[in-house]
Structure 1
Amino acid sequence: MNIEMAIDTLWVLLAAMLVFFMNLGFAAVEAGFARTKNCVNILSKNFIVFAVSSLGFLFLGWGIMFGGDNPFIGTKGLFILTGNIDDSVYTLSANVPFWAKFIFQLVFCGTAATIVSGAVAERIKYISFIVFSFILTLLIYPVVGHWIWGGGFLSQLGFMDFAGSTVVHSVGGWAALAGVIVLGPRFGKYDKSGKIHPIPGHNMSLATIGLFVLWLGWFGFNPGSTMSMANPGDVAHIFMTTNTSAIAAIITSTIVSWIFLGKPDLGMTINGCLAGLVAITAGCAFVDVLGSLIIGAIAGVIVVFSVVMFDSLKLDDPVGATSVHLANGVFGTICVGLFAKEGVTTLSTTNGLFMGGGASLLGVQLIGILVVAAFVLPASLLVWVLIKKTIGIRVSLEEEITGLDIGEHGNLAYPEFISRKPGYSAMINDEPESKVAVKGGIVNEAY
């Protein structure tokens, strides 16, 4: 047995497990940021999205992304479910078996789709989200992935995105933004005068747990993208830049929210950490530790003002996914062109603008950002509009007010709140419990 191959395969599969575990993190963060009446819906979407994205990627997505070196789209091995697997046609090279490569890329694909879930929360039809997720991972995500990671024209130009600030996070962010535009805001989020009415999440404990799960998962997401343990120093360096960016963003997002919002808002701190992780994802193997500290610090500032900006534009994103993944995915991609440092790892061969390399890399990064935006946003808008015109995209107003848990799933995350609250009200009002009105099984709209 080739011991090097065994070690590399073990590392890739371990990293894939960590990235898969991020599904729990996204589910917990999104559920915590949502209201109790939509908690089951959020959790169910995070289950189903990985299943449908896995099916799409297995059926066609892998071949489109990695099937040969055509500049625009993969053309070989498109239907690997049929058993037509020829490892030699794939431009992704690593000293690991085919299915280890596949499963590692699969969990990345699932992450891109999961990003959309939180942005469209609390008003989208369950079936509409499923259909969009399938199309995103079947066609849209793999096309961009081919351009950058599959030997396509952006990689040939020299575009650099080590672990997916653009491929995963910006793609998910553009798709989420398109969904937010087509869906419109939640009922009660903005009044007729345009005033914003905050809708707080129901469980910040759950959201915080989710954040730590995601933070842990990122140590598979970024370091695992080496797909090899041949250079342990590279892996260790990526661990360090990933963590440093996260901690810097935690501090700056907390400070900025404290100054401009009056309090050190926990939700902003959570999204600040995620913003730092997203921003460093593209350059984690290309920048030094000081660079990662600067990138994270700026990301923490960006996410706070991005949340405020999207709100002012009446783009209702309940969890801040567009601010975390889109705004900071774009920012992190730009940072490669600024902070890349030749030789900082064996994977880093180019200097960015601030490291004396001139503006050529920055120019390529900007071209890549624009090309991806010009494809993903219109394509996603088209898919969302087609879904809206056919099966519909939004639940009824009555169902939205009552909660998607009842309307879409027929159960509740916290049934005790419903069954016991009338009794408490009756005791407070000194009235028989039978006289307490419970409309539609819901005592308080917050539930």
Structure 2
Amino acid sequence: MENFADVKYILDGFLFIFSGVLVMWMAAGFAMLEAGLTRTKNNATVLTKNVALFAISCIMFYFVGYNAMYGEGNSFIGSLAIFSGETAADAAYPAFSDFFFQVMFVATAASVISGSVAERMKLWPFLIFVVVLSSFIYPIQGHWTWGGTELGGLIAGFSDFAGSTIVHSVGGWAALAAVLILGARKGKYSKTGAVRPIPGSNLPLATLGTFILWMGWFGFNGGSQLAMGSKGDIEAIAMVVADTNMAAAAGALAAALLTQLIYRKVDLTMVLNGALAGLVSCTAGPDLGMVVAFIEGIVGGALVVFAVPLWDKLKIDDPVGALSVHLVAGIWGTIAVGIFNPDVTVMAQLKGVVIIGAFVFVSSFIVWKILDLVVGIRVDEETEVNGLDIHETGLEAYPEFKRA
């Protein structure tokens, strides 16, 4: 029996580590997707942001965020002690393996924001916000859910397997708050309200980023089973991974078919975001079976096709479609659990979405507004026109292009 316990401890710990590595790979996917869907004059800044936000998230979650999320405190927030890394004698896995896995989710939430504010936000105010997000905003709402307090019972019954709301919508709400203060990119909307498309610089790069994210999501959802030391656990992981893949495929196909019907052409950027929306839609309930994943993915992919132009009608400029993918599809995926899981009610899911969304949006809006008043969050017009790269990083992503 002792040997069996050791094997289970090793397998469960390995699941966290291996899944964490896959989720870390998603950081590369976000960087490539954002770089591909923005203009070359801003690519060096985009890449700098994505590396820096990952580093900041990892550091701040260690010093503050992890125990604020999982520590013993009250129903609102855990403790504010530094994560010790001590593994309890009866623990099912090493403490550091859990930290490594969980910190990757924080970086994912921050990465969502990066794409929405691209091409007009200053670098350092963005990074300061990431400090606050990874230290307090993300961990506090995580304390109510995965931390087990249910906000004193206020969101009891809420279910989010791997984070359609807890990770993806959190990033989406924080991004929406930023974009409302930041405003649209120069030239995106005419004085009459017409939308002027601003094409991305590199669709092959964006496609690569999407495939990297698709692959990393197997760790995102599969690792959220949280155990691999039994036959039942590995069967559950297998289903979760298969469901995740199905949802992405369904989302991509739905976006392809809809854009063909609506625009008479298949829009690659919509197909890419359709796949990602399928993944986000499945993340709250990737353990509900292939048919459910297929439905979640189809609806998620369709929502993106309609949500992207809707944001534009509202003059909310989102260069990469992150609000449509992570916020809209995240809300749908969370509600879908209440529809397809008989043990969860739609009302419990809606309560969780509203309470978490309100907290994240309001707290993020306050932080963004303070940053805007103190240091300003938007670059000046000249910098925006010339590109952020030289001003913010002193480098260009493709210097030969200018010489050519």
- Fold shared by both chains (TM-score > 0.5): yes
CA distance in 2, matches of 1:339, 1:68: 33
CA distance in 2, matches of 1:73, 1:60: 11
Matching residue of 2:235: 233
| Gap change, CA 1:269 and 1:172, over 3 Å in 2 | same
CA distance in 2, matches of 1:335, 1:184: 32
Deviation at 1:154, TM superposition (A): 5.2
- How many residues end up aligned between the 2 structures? 395
Matching residue of 1:10: 14
Matching residue of 1:113: 110
| Gap change, CA 1:185 and 1:193, over 3 Å in 2 | same
CA distance in 2, matches of 1:252, 1:154: 37
| Gap change, CA 1:23 and 1:394, over 3 Å in 2 | same
Deviation at 1:260, TM superposition (A): 1.7
2:373 to 389, 394, 404: 389
Matching residue of 2:145: 148
2:51 to 28, 47, 50: 47
Residue identity opposite 1:272 in structure 2: G
How far does the alpha carbon of each residue in 1:276-300 deviate from its partner, in whole angstroms, 9 at most, with x for none?
Answer: 0000000012x12111111111111
Matching residue of 2:134: 137
Deviation at 1:410, TM superposition (A): 1.2
Deviation at 1:69, TM superposition (A): 6.4
CA distance in 1, matches of 2:305, 2:130: 28
CA distance in 2, matches of 1:278, 1:217: 12
CA distance in 2, matches of 1:265, 1:116: 23
How far does the alpha carbon of each residue in 1:326-345 deviate from its partner, in whole angstroms, 9 at most, with x for none?
Answer: 0011000000000115xxxx
1:418 aligns with 2:384: no
Q: Name the % identity.
A: 45
**Would the aligned equivalents of 1:245 and 1:295 in 2 still touch at CA under 8 Å?**
yes
**Counterpart of 2:145 in 1: which secondary structure?**
helix
**Counterpart of 1:133 in 2: which secondary structure?**
helix
CA distance in 2, matches of 1:228, 1:243: 20
| Gap change, CA 1:321 and 1:270, over 3 Å in 2 | same
Matching residue of 2:201: 202
**Would the aligned equivalents of 2:76 and 2:151 in 1 still touch at CA under 8 Å?**
no
Superposition pairs of residues 84-95 of structure 1, within 5 angstroms: 87=87, 95=92
Deviation at 1:87, TM superposition (A): 4.9
Matching residue of 2:189: 190
**Counterpart of 2:328 in 1: which secondary structure?**
helix
How far does the alpha carbon of each residue in 1:329-377 deviate from its partner, in whole angstroms, 9 at most, with x for none?
Answer: 1000000000115xxxxxxxx2x5xxxxxxxx11110100110111011
**TM-score, normalisation: structure 2:** 0.95
**Would the aligned equivalents of 1:29 and 1:209 in 2 still touch at CA under 8 Å?**
yes
CA distance in 1, matches of 2:169, 2:302: 18
CA distance in 2, matches of 1:363, 1:301: 24
Matching residue of 1:78: 81
CA distance in 2, matches of 1:332, 1:49: 26
How far does the alpha carbon of each residue in 1:246-266 deviate from its partner, in whole angstroms, 9 at most, with x for none?
Answer: 111111111111222231000
Matching residue of 1:256: 258
The structure number with the bigger radius of gyration is 1
Q: Which moved more, 1:190-199 or 1:1-10?
A: 1-10
Matching residue of 1:435: none
1:63 aligns with 2:76: no
**Counterpart of 1:57 in 2: which secondary structure?**
helix
Superposition pairs of residues 201-220 of structure 1, within 5 angstroms: 201-220=200-219
**Would the aligned equivalents of 1:26 and 1:210 in 2 still touch at CA under 8 Å?**
yes
**Would the aligned equivalents of 2:338 and 2:349 in 1 still touch at CA under 8 Å?**
yes
CA distance in 1, matches of 2:278, 2:308: 15
**Would the aligned equivalents of 1:124 and 1:394 in 2 still touch at CA under 8 Å?**
yes
How far does the alpha carbon of each residue in 1:364-402 deviate from its partner, in whole angstroms, 9 at most, with x for none?
Answer: 101001101110111111010000001110111000000
**Counterpart of 1:196 in 2: which secondary structure?**
coil
Residue identity opposite 2:157 in structure 1: G
Deviation at 1:184, TM superposition (A): 0.1
**Would the aligned equivalents of 1:63 and 1:79 in 2 still touch at CA under 8 Å?**
yes
Matching residue of 1:26: 30
CA distance in 1, matches of 2:261, 2:56: 42
**TM-score, normalisation: structure 1:** 0.86
Please report the RMSD computed on the Cα atoms of aligned residues, expressed in angstroms. 1.6
Deviation at 1:155, TM superposition (A): 9.1
Deviation at 1:74, TM superposition (A): 0.7
**Would the aligned equivalents of 2:15 and 2:227 in 1 still touch at CA under 8 Å?**
yes
Deviation at 1:88, TM superposition (A): 5.4
